[in-house]
Amino acid sequence: MATLNTHSDLSNTPSITATTDTSSTPGTYLGPNWFASVMGTGIVATAGATLPYDVPGLHLFTLGVWEIALALLLVLSVAFVVHWIRNPRAAQRYHHDPTLIQFYGAPPMAFLTVGAGAVLVGRSLIGTGLAVDLDWVLWSIGTLTGLISAVAVPYRLFTELSIRSDSAFGGWLMPIVPPMVSSATGALLIPHLATATARATLLYACVAMFGLSLIASLIVITLIWSRLAHFGSSGSTRVPTLWIVLGPLGQSVTAAGLLGTNAAVAVPAPFARGFAFFSVAAGVPIWGFAVLWIALATALTVRTARQHLPFHLTWWSFTFPVGTFVTGTTRLFVATHLPAFRVAAGVSYLGLLGAWLLVATLTARHLTAGRLLATPVVPGPGPVSRKGSLTAA
């Protein structure tokens, strides 16, 4: 039986193959998928801040993690801009790669996650007023760029990119999930608006983004299910992206819960009660499917790891999606007060912590070794999905 391989193997990345250019230096190649590290770190803070538990030291821990996420966001944002200026040709390759282009949804979600953390966690450090102002800035940036990614990336997929019949994978969700994150995080800002009209406008805007993202996500999830049914799992570094499916599921439960809670300050009572009812009536069934997907994704991941699952940035898919499941479960506990949801939130947060510690450690190790930033990427064929026993990664 093969063991889990934690050595970076970028040559196995879907649609990405390493070139033989030995002139590359660390920092030369920086894709939008790096922002998944900000998402995965930020969700540890926000999910921990909303847990229905009073754990000594938890606030200090989440505050420290949020500060790390904020620092990562600043560093990566500057580095990404510098990368585009210094290496425009390399950066433009991302637009032509059917895999990497999907991860242009990561930067918007990184801004949104850190912004939400400012209100939920950072306010104890910088004050509520500054925290809300910071969230408004980051939410606006994340929402605008997220809406652009939700349109531009699928449009390019429909009109320009060459794909195979087994190409659908979790990454296809990345550009269309940001509006759902905007919906959930925007709900946190509703009480901070001065007028009823402004609060109602933001509420309905968040509901519209909820529908935009959820319906598009359900279409993509269906394609992923179809690909798995017809072709099987790829048995490659693409496998961790199956966990991305949890993202729109958990985030939709979170968004519905937060909108249901904050609708009371934005719309008349009958409408507010309707939103509150919807948060449970829709949230619980979606949560149920999320549990099913956790079981399937776990089984497929373990199956691949027993053969060969080299470390890659796709491993960050084990973090943010799980974090949205934690926040969604917490919102269901707040709405129903059922102990089962409280226990599920606690257990899933422990899983999130374990995944984050593992992936962050491996990322730091491979980054310092120069294995992540120094490898150029060019368009190439993706791995062939297969059924039956996996004989290779």
Return the pLDDT at 96.
87
Share of the chain above pLDDT 90, in %: 75
Q: Is the residue at 324 inside a domain?
A: yes
CA 216 to chain centre: 16
Round to whole Å and give the CA distance between 158 and 52. 43
φ/ψ bin of 41: left (φ > 0), alpha (ψ from -120 to 50), beta (otherwise):
alpha
Return the pLDDT at 234.
73
Give the three-class secondary structure for 182.
Answer: helix
The string of DSSP codes covering 259-288 is HHHHGGGTS-HHHHHHHHHHHHHTHHHHHH
φ/ψ bin of 18: left (φ > 0), alpha (ψ from -120 to 50), beta (otherwise):
beta
Per-residue pLDDT tens over the stretch 112-122: 999 999 999 99
- Average model confidence (pLDDT) across the chain: 89
Evaluate if residue 318 carries a pLDDT over 70. yes
Q: Is the residue at 314 inside a domain?
A: yes
Among 147, 163, 145, smallest CA distance to 35 is for 145
344: confidence class by pLDDT, cuts 50, 70, 90 = very high
Round to whole Å and give the CA distance between 371 and 350. 29
Q: Is the residue at 118 inside a domain?
A: yes
Round to whole Å and give the CA distance between 253 and 324. 8
Structurally, the chain folds into a number of domains equal to 1
Amino acid code (one letter) for 287: W
What one-character DSSP code corresponds to residue 233? B
Return the pLDDT at 374.
60
Q: Is the residue at 391 inside a domain?
A: no
Token pair, residue 220, equals 């993509």
Which of 85-94, 205-214, 239-248, 268-277 is the least confident region?
85-94
Looking up residue 190, the CATH number of its domain turns out to be 1.50.10.150
Residue keyed to tokens 């990404």: 80
Per-residue pLDDT tens over the stretch 31-88: 899 999 999 999 999 999 999 999 999 999 999 999 999 999 999 999 999 988 888 8
Q: Is the residue at 5 inside a domain?
A: no
Per-residue pLDDT tens over the stretch 209-255: 999 999 999 999 999 999 999 988 876 788 999 999 999 999 999 99
Return the pLDDT at 236.
74
Burial of 389 (0-12, 13-18, 19+ CB in 10 A): exposed
385: confidence class by pLDDT, cuts 50, 70, 90 = low
Gyration radius of the chain's alpha carbons: 20
Evaluate if residue 326 carries a pLDDT over 90. yes
Token pair, residue 28, equals 């030369």
- Stretch 144-173: mean pLDDT, rounded? 94
The string of DSSP codes covering 89-138 is HHHHHHHH-TTGGGGGGHHHHHHHHHHHHIIIIIHHHH-HHHHHHHHHHH
| Boundaries of domain holding 366 | 10-379
- Stretch 305-326: mean pLDDT, rounded? 94
Return the pLDDT at 265.
96
Q: Is the residue at 310 inside a domain?
A: yes
Return the pLDDT at 16.
41
Q: Is the residue at 131 inside a domain?
A: yes
Q: Is the residue at 387 inside a domain?
A: no
- Stretch 270-288: mean pLDDT, rounded? 97
| Residues facing 16 on adjacent strands | 379
Q: Report the helix count and the strand count for the chain, using DSSP H and E.
A: 13, 2
